[in-house]
Each structure stands twice: as structure tokens, then as C-alpha cells.
Amino acid sequence: MSIKITYFVHGTTTDNEKGLSTGWRPGELSELGIKQAKELGNLVKEKFDAFFCSDLKRASTSAQLGFADKYKIILDKRLRECNYGDFNGLAEENIDYKKYIDTPFPNGESLKNVEERIKNFLNFLKKDYNNKHIAIMAHKAPQLALEVLVRGKTWEEAIKEDWRNTKSWQPGWEYTIE
């Protein structure tokens, strides 16, 4: 059994440009984000058997702009960003992800809760998408959860090595589930 995943992140949002953590708020793509989403669709030449997306607006809009002409976009709430609870919409610089690995954000969820959601999603893929190539459009915390679940990193390692720390964006990250 093997499932190949190509993971995409949504385009830049107005919150991103203001340095805010959107969390479970819908989020609006900025002009740059709209451009990025359209360009990503043109950059990606791979063919996917299915295209899954977070149901949060910023991700679903990115997927629609870049890929709706090629794929049916399947929304799945398990792919949502971490619920930062009281911190949804606060300054990114004030969020210490390491403090919320096991402990939920006030009135929100922990990174381990996100890991459980993604684990549930991966089990669904194993059952229904064996030997398929799947695309996912989502957010930071679900991608970090993939680093933990698929690549065997600790949460501390995933946070420290996150591409966002060095602004090392690329048009998709590859993961393989065996």
C-alpha cells in the first residue's frame, strides 16, 4: 500500500500581510494571494486522483482559483488550521506554538488535536485511496502534523524546521504513506 500526497498551502491572506494568525476565522486572500493561487494552478503539472481541501475560505478559494478547472475540490473540515480559540486573529508573533503542543489554546485546540484530525484523515485515505496520488490544500498546523505523522518528527522539530521560518515556499510538498 502506498499513497502519494502533494500538499499545497493557501495563498497569502490579508491577515498574513498584517502578521495575524487567522486560525479558524475564514480569512480573505489578498491581491497577492489571489495571484499566487492562480499561478500555483499553472505551475503544477502533476495529475491527481483526488483533490482535498480545508473548508476554511482562504484555502477553498485558493483551491478554486488554481485547480477547479481541473479537479472537483473536496472540502474536508479535518484539514482546517488549528483552532487558536481566543488567539484566532491575534498577532502571529504572540503565539508560541511549542506551548500548545499538548495544552489547548484557550477555548481552542492543541497541536496534538490537529494531529488526531490529520491521523483520522490519513486513515480515511488508506482505506479509500490506496495507490493513489492525492492533492491537499490546507494550512500550517496540518502540514506540521504530516511532518510528525509521516516523517516521524517530534512537534518541536516540526515547528523548528518549518519552511515558514526561512520563507522557503515551494509549489507543493511531497509525502508518501506506506
81 is catalytic: yes
72 vs 74: CA distance, rounded Å: 6
Torsion, Cα 15 21 26 30, to 10 degrees, reads 20
The continuous run of DSSP H or E covering 43 comes out as: helix 31-43
* DSSP 8-state class, residue 120: H
Active-site entry in 81, 109, 115, 147? 81
Distances (CA, A) of 68 to 28, 42, 52, 88, 144: 18, 12, 11, 28, 26
**Cβ pair 34, 11 in contact under 8 A:** yes
Would residue 139 show up in a list of annotated catalytic residues for this protein?
no
- Angle at CA 137, nearest 5°, toward 132 and 142? 95
Helix (H) or strand (E) holding 122: helix 111-128
The catalytic site residues sit at: 10, 81
